[in-house]
Copies of this chain bind each other. A is one copy, B any other.
């Protein structure tokens, strides 16, 4: 009803690189500044936490879809904790709930989310990917997959999905 779009930022937890964390923070901040909700897997780790910290630094609102049933794994930067109690099966809820799925870096959980986002026919944007990731995901021939080198391009891509 409030017409704000939900952008999902997916990425590794403990396996995140410094560049992943920095990108996730800046991305969360940028999206919040542009009045998007930032959705992540909600845990106090890696890309999830960095993205939400960035969003909060710009006064945004964050949604964390947690694997736990009691919030024990919740980042302090989650405003709205959705407690699923479903472990990694919650990855599909992240994907279905996001209007656009952005992958920052890669881990097994991230890989499952990008793959599920293709299944769910969601717009996808990949950042900080290895050549192997890019080759792998491009091979599916999925039309709504974008690969970006910089945050400057992100808003243009996300907004193009918004207007569609």
Task: Determine whether A79 belongs to the interface, using a CB cutoff of 8 Å to chain B.
Answer: yes
Q: Cβ of B1 and Cβ of A79 under 8 Å apart? A: yes
Who on chain B is nearest to A70 by CB? B96
Task: Determine whether A46 belongs to the interface, using a CB cutoff of 8 Å to chain B.
Answer: no
Could you list 21 examples of A-B contacts with CB < 8 Å? A1-B56, A1-B77, A1-B79, A69-B87, A82-B97, A84-B89, A84-B93, A84-B96, A85-B86, A85-B88, A86-B89, A88-B116, A88-B119, A89-B91, A89-B93, A108-B118, A111-B111, A112-B116, A130-B139, A133-B139, A136-B136
Contact partners of A37 in chain B: CB under 8 A: 80
Q: Cβ of A62 and Cβ of B115 under 8 Å apart? A: no
Least CB distance from A116 to B in Å reads 5
Who on chain B is nearest to A15 by CB? B140
CA A2 – CA B56 in complex, angstroms?
Answer: 10
Task: Determine whether A153 belongs to the interface, using a CB cutoff of 8 Å to chain B.
Answer: no
Copies in the complex: 4
Contact partners of A86 in chain B: CB under 8 A: 85-87, 89, 92-93
Contact partners of A78 in chain B: CB under 8 A: 1
Least CB distance from A88 to B in Å reads 5
Least CB distance from A25 to B in Å reads 15
Least CB distance from A81 to B in Å reads 7
Q: Within residues 107 to 149 of chain A, which ones have a CB less than 8 A from any CB in chain B?
A: 107-109, 111-113, 115-116, 118-120, 130, 132-133, 135-136, 139-140, 142
